Amino acid sequence: MAKKYAYTLPQHRVEHGVSIPVDELMIDDKAQRTLNEPRARSMANNLVPEALGTIVVSQRSDGLRYIVDGMHRWHASKLTGIAELVAEVHHGLDQQEEAILFLIKNRESSKPTPLDEYRIGLTAGLPLFVDTESALQARGLSMGSTGTNTVGAVAGVLRITDLYGPHVLERTLKVAEVAWGRTKETWDGMLLGGIGMFLGRHGDEVEDGPLAAKIGKKDPAFRWRANITALASAGGTRHSGTGSRVSTCYTLIVTEWNKGKRTENRIDA
């Protein structure tokens, strides 16, 4: 049975691997997303020409070529002086059909999952992923669906390595395990993120054992998580992203660390 709201296009000729001068390409903003200039400039600053891939273009009956998909790559190419782009060229479409093609291309495209990106990053030998994997292996852990011996918080763990280095990630994993044991809840992303932030900022001032003891004595991991979620969302009165929850966890860890210490020995959040 055909889908009631399926996107359909008439049969038409498509050419692949066509090199087109950047200056000959055009944009029809009625059949295209709005250009995000900061995004395009960010792409330009980190552009790898060999990884630009193929853009999608519609060549209309008047011979003019309009970008259907790849506008930001096109703009980044203009900013960096790249003269030509390789395109998949569709012939004979009108503006409405170009808009449908845009929706089809973006509906069917999908980013790799964080775990797939991590796996592929390891295959590529990228230092961020390799260093993170080394820290995990040093603690007898691996990346995967969160379990007793696997960590699912891919983005959070990579962020610790990226900001503070693999040594801090390894310490973070150690502190979490000593505090709460090797459980699924131990490897929660916001808990690891909060510990990682604390160690990244104050690691030279604290020892892992005493820190883990204070964290573990306060509450088990699942209660830490519930408390952080409630505080970060102000009891449900405002939305809260991962960054806010990590910061809340960090603040609570600072509070626990400072308990019983003289003013001069306390850490400022």
Domain ranges for the chain: 14-108, 114-265
Task: Yes or no: say if 221 and 186 are a contact pair by the CB < 8 Å rule.
Answer: yes
Question: For the ranges 48-57, 116-125, 139-148, 156-165, which has the lowest average pLDDT?
Answer: 116-125
The share of the chain scoring above pLDDT 90, in percent, equals 67
188 DSSP assignment: -
Task: Yes or no: say if 122 and 133 are a contact pair by the CB < 8 Å rule.
Answer: yes
Q: Which residues contact 178 (CB under 8 A, 6 or more apart)?
A: 208, 209, 212, 213, 216
Is the per-residue pLDDT at 238 higher than 60? no
Q: What is the model's pLDDT at position 1?
A: 45
Q: Which residues contact 245 (CB under 8 A, 6 or more apart)?
A: 190, 193, 228, 229, 232
Q: Quickly tell me which residue has 């190419």 as its tokens.
A: 77
**Cα 12 from Cα 93, distance rounded (Å):** 8
Give the mean model confidence (pLDDT) for residues 136-162.
Answer: 95
Q: For the chain, what's the residue count?
A: 269
Q: Quickly tell me which residue has 């790849």 as its tokens.
A: 70
CATH code for the domain defined by 14-108: 3.90.1530.10
Give the mean model confidence (pLDDT) for residues 233-262.
Answer: 80
Q: What is the model's pLDDT at position 263?
A: 86
**Cα 106 from Cα 48, distance rounded (Å):** 22
pTM of the model: 0.68
Is the per-residue pLDDT at 3 higher than 50? no
Is the per-residue pLDDT at 236 higher than 60? no
Kindly compute the dihedral angle of the four CA atoms of residues 39, 45, 51, 57, in this order, to the nearest 10 degrees: 50
97 DSSP assignment: H
Tokens of 162: 């990226």
- Across 61-77, b (16+ Cβ under 10 Å) vs e yields eeeebbbbbbbbbbbbb
Q: What are the pLDDT digits (tens) for 169-202?
A: 999 999 999 999 999 999 999 999 999 999 999 9
